[in-house]
Structure 1
Amino acid sequence: MRVLYFSDTFLPKTDGVAVSIKNFSELLALRGHEFCICAPKYGDGDFDRMTDNIQVVRFRSGYLPSYPDIKVVLPSPGKIKRIIEDFKPDLIHIHTPGLLGLYAINAAERFGVPTIGTYHTLMAEQEMYVSFYRLFKLDKLFFKANKFKKKLNIDELDKIVKFDNFNIRKKIILKICNDIYNRCDVVISPSFLIKEQLIEYGITRPITVVSNGMDLKRFQGKPKEYGSGDAPKFLHVGRISYEKNCDIVINAFKLIHDQFPKATLTIIGEGPAIPSLQRQAEHLNINQSVEFKGFIPNAVLHEVYPQYDVFLTASTMETQGLVVLEAIACGLPAVGVDAFALPELIRHGENGFIAKSFDAKGIAQGALEIIKNPDLYAKFSKQSIHIASGHDMEKCVDAMEEVYGKVIEAMKGKVKKTTIFDLFFDFMQ
């Protein structure tokens, strides 16, 4: 099979989407399939080939002022047309509903290529990045002012956020995403809970569940034990952006720290929310116990997780949660929130606890119960490894390969559609 990937995010930028694309393309390429990955141009660290069977084509892009890590790919319909004509894909696989995803679905319809779309990210939950206070960087202005003048506080910033929190933005983003995915032949959801959410969102195309998977040969944990130590080590890993609600994790840790003054929280990852989180830790007087380690390559993360005792997350937008899967595969009990796919990996009372969304007190209570009960800790650790075992990467690759084959076979002779976008394809040669 010849598969053409489109994604508005990819390596060298590391996130869950990039890791998934890398894993599936590399393992399927070993089975003889060929891939061409269309992705943004970042500059330093870009590459145009992963293996003999995987090429990468880069597209010119700008960035979103409120979140420089998000690339906005500039229109290149002529370039996409040439790629399709040269590569002759059997299948187009769209990984993001951004502009590159939109260009891809238009091209797929014009050339009659079977199309799959994976719903990696709940884009409607990231509507804060098009809010006026972040587009104009008023959050950064707040923290600069607060650094020198103690007149402003976090509550005042929250008022700005609430004032700008119009549901219309979320509805617009949701409609844009639905318009793209409802034009795919099949939609892939990384989890069963997200499949239910997509139906509620209005996705009408057939939805099949394929986990992003985990390399269990590398993330191979052993059951852990926690005694009566007074210095538990908590961990949070991921993109440190606003929608991940790491501020809730820090608030929860403050409550934990009140009972265990020697406890520590390590936050691994990069993102635009770090300055505000550092100020928050200072404000709560726990900055000496909270460490921001920055980015750590995924290639060594399997060695990092076992060094900690409990994984914490307050994200309310996970379609699967690769870092959660990595953590539990390494034997860590976890505490998360009742949002989207997290309860599928963090099962309340089995390998951790689930609190209500944005409930710092509930997260803290769950974490404290785990570290205060050695028998419960050992049970949760063992069960974490068991739950992760259902996401073996090879099994997921088998499932993806089967979906590809079925869609290609079912959509043979797919009718080509002529739209107004054809004018752009023909004009921009």
Structure 2
Amino acid sequence: MKIAIASDLFWPMINGISIFSKNLAEQLTLRGHEVVVFAPSQSGDFQVEKTDGYTVVRLSSVNFPFYPNQTEPLAPAKKLAGRITIPRVYLHNGYRLSLLPYREIKRYCKYNGFKPDVVHVQLQLMIGQAMIDFARKNHIPVVVTNHASPENLFDNLRMLAPLSPIINKTVLLYTKRFALQADYATMPTRQAIDRHFKKPENAKMPIEAVSNGIDLRLFTPKKVDSSFFDKFHLPKDKKIIMNIGRVDAEKHISTLILAFKENLKNNKDSVLVIVGDGTDMTNLQNLTYQLDISNKVYFMGTQIGEDLINFHRIADVFVSASPTETQGIVFLEAAACGKPVIGVDVGAVKEICQDGVNGFLCETDNVDQIAESINKILSNKKLADEFSKNGLEIIKQHDLNFTITKFEEIYKKVVDKKSTEPKDWRSKLINRFKK
């Protein structure tokens, strides 16, 4: 099968959408499908590259300087008085945005003889819409997956923060209408579907919850060699509270730092390890100085590959204070590595972080509750071991192999259905009158 994946966020950017899109492309290729990914160019210029057996068409792009591209560390912020740093407002290495991708998509497909059997759109931006337009003109079925929550962007743009509630509602309506252009729509969890559609069963196309999944062959419980601690200058005799992901405002890591400060009253031998980078890094570093805990909070920057997996493995508990997850791949990864998890009781997190089963759910920004939950796990090894065991059972439902198989089934459904539909407008009109 020839499959086109359209993703306005793609590797080497590091976030849930880009990681899932990359996993999807790799696994479909391994199963014998011809895969072409359409994504923004990281250099700005159109280019085509081959990687791991599939093709990535990098479409011309411009710099969006208010959101990091996450492909390289943010430049060091300027400091005042030796310690206080100025938050970054303008980013030279901002997110790359393809403004007019349709012609390049059309040209690539024409001159390379690539006519997809199905198009799978990962994000509702310019490339996603252009691929839908291309698919409609060429009678190609479309599958749309909505991974994102509007808060993931607009709550992080400080200039728009006061208007974010209105903008978020507008974007939710937009993403719903975007999905209605598809032949089949998926979201990572049932809660995500319910947030967008009051009655999904009445939608004109099927809507289904399909987990993003992770590769359970890679993320496993395993003892980490002491050399890993030496490599990253981490203490070997402390209890480790772990947070992994984008270091942006909507992730509410400041709440976690405040909770960690409270936790130190009962667990003086604990440390907080934050893995990732983002626009809120400066504010968080300032906060640790203000709370006088900078020597107990480790900012590790972006990590990938085996190092990322080992950061999960060395944790005693994984904690996220983010209220904006549509599923949260990091929760999947932590559970797969046998770690108790703590999250916010909003949206889809409860499907992975099950309160009292493999961790605890807390109210949004409830510092005391998060601190108390951390203390319960760190001070009770029997409870932590029980949560770890239960998490390993829960994660079995989120094996990436199951996810890929499910999408193959969906692709076949929409391709078979599209083959029975009339191709030209005259036939469509006649068919409508017959009905």
TM-score range, shorter chain: 0.7 to 0.9
Counterpart-to-counterpart distance in 2, 1:24 and 1:220: 20
> Is 1:183–2:181 an aligned residue pair?
yes
Counterpart-to-counterpart distance in 2, 1:10 and 1:334: 27
Counterpart-to-counterpart distance in 2, 1:216 and 1:308: 18
Counterpart-to-counterpart distance in 1, 2:399 and 2:141: 27
- Check conservation: 2:240, 2:316, Cα contact below 8 A: yes
> Is 1:59–2:86 an aligned residue pair?
no
Paired amino acid for 1:234: I
- 1:41 corresponds to which residue? 41
Superposed counterparts of 1:89-104, under 5 Å: 89-104=116-131
CA displacement, residues 324-347 of structure 1 (integer Å, 9 cap, x when unaligned): 111111011011111111111110
- Check conservation: 2:176, 2:197, Cα contact below 8 A: no
- 1:251 corresponds to which residue? 258
Q: 1:388: how far off?
A: 1.1
Task: Extract unaligned runs of 5+ from structure 2.
Answer: 70-94, 225-235, 426-435
Q: 1:125: how far off?
A: 4.9
Counterpart-to-counterpart distance in 2, 1:21 and 1:172: 25
CA displacement, residues 125-150 of structure 1 (integer Å, 9 cap, x when unaligned): 532245526xxxxxxxxxxxxxxxxx
- Counterparts in 2 of 1:297 and 1:230: CA distance versus 1, 3 Å: closer
CA displacement, residues 305-355 of structure 1 (integer Å, 9 cap, x when unaligned): 121100000111212111111111101101111111111111000010000
- 2:166 corresponds to which residue? 168
CA displacement, residues 191-219 of structure 1 (integer Å, 9 cap, x when unaligned): 22222223249893421122111111111
- 2:51 corresponds to which residue? 50
Paired amino acid for 2:403: C
- Counterparts in 2 of 1:416 and 1:254: CA distance versus 1, 3 Å: farther
SS of the residue corresponding to residue 43 of structure 1 reads coil
Q: 2:103 aligns with which of 78, 93, 100?
A: 78
- Check conservation: 1:131, 1:165, Cα contact below 8 A: no
- Counterparts in 2 of 1:261 and 1:124: CA distance versus 1, 3 Å: closer
Counterpart-to-counterpart distance in 2, 1:208 and 1:74: 30
- 2:12 corresponds to which residue? 12
CA displacement, residues 401-420 of structure 1 (integer Å, 9 cap, x when unaligned): 111111111122555689xx
Q: 1:91: how far off?
A: 0.5
Superposed counterparts of 1:211-222, under 5 Å: 211-221=211-221
Counterpart-to-counterpart distance in 1, 2:367 and 2:199: 28
- Counterparts in 2 of 1:312 and 1:130: CA distance versus 1, 3 Å: closer
Paired amino acid for 1:172: T
- 1:145 corresponds to which residue? none
- Counterparts in 2 of 1:310 and 1:106: CA distance versus 1, 3 Å: same
- 1:132 corresponds to which residue? 159
- Counterparts in 2 of 1:201 and 1:255: CA distance versus 1, 3 Å: farther
- Counterparts in 2 of 1:79 and 1:331: CA distance versus 1, 3 Å: same
Instruction: Work out the number of aligned pairs and report it.
Output: 383
Runs of 4+ in 1 over 4 A off after TM superposition: 413-418
Instruction: Give aligned-pair identity as a percent.
Output: 31
Superposed counterparts of 1:140-151, under 5 Å: none
- Check conservation: 2:68, 2:278, Cα contact below 8 A: no
SS of the residue corresponding to residue 317 of structure 1 reads coil
Query: What RMSD in Å do the two structures reach over aligned CA positions?
Result: 2.4
- Check conservation: 1:124, 1:174, Cα contact below 8 A: no
- 1:285 corresponds to which residue? 292
- 1:149 corresponds to which residue? none
- 2:341 corresponds to which residue? 334
- Check conservation: 1:122, 1:319, Cα contact below 8 A: yes
Q: 1:172: how far off?
A: 2.7
Counterpart-to-counterpart distance in 2, 1:130 and 1:377: 37
- 2:31 corresponds to which residue? 31
Counterpart-to-counterpart distance in 2, 1:404 and 1:89: 11
- Counterparts in 2 of 1:288 and 1:251: CA distance versus 1, 3 Å: same
Q: Which has the higher contact order (CA 8 A, sep 6+)?
A: 1
SS of the residue corresponding to residue 318 of structure 2 reads strand
Superposed counterparts of 1:344-383, under 5 Å: 344-383=351-390
- Check conservation: 1:241, 1:273, Cα contact below 8 A: yes
- 1:154 corresponds to which residue? none
Task: Extract unaligned runs of 5+ from structure 1.
Answer: 134-160, 419-429
- Check conservation: 2:67, 2:157, Cα contact below 8 A: no
TM-score for both structures, normalised by structure 2: 0.82
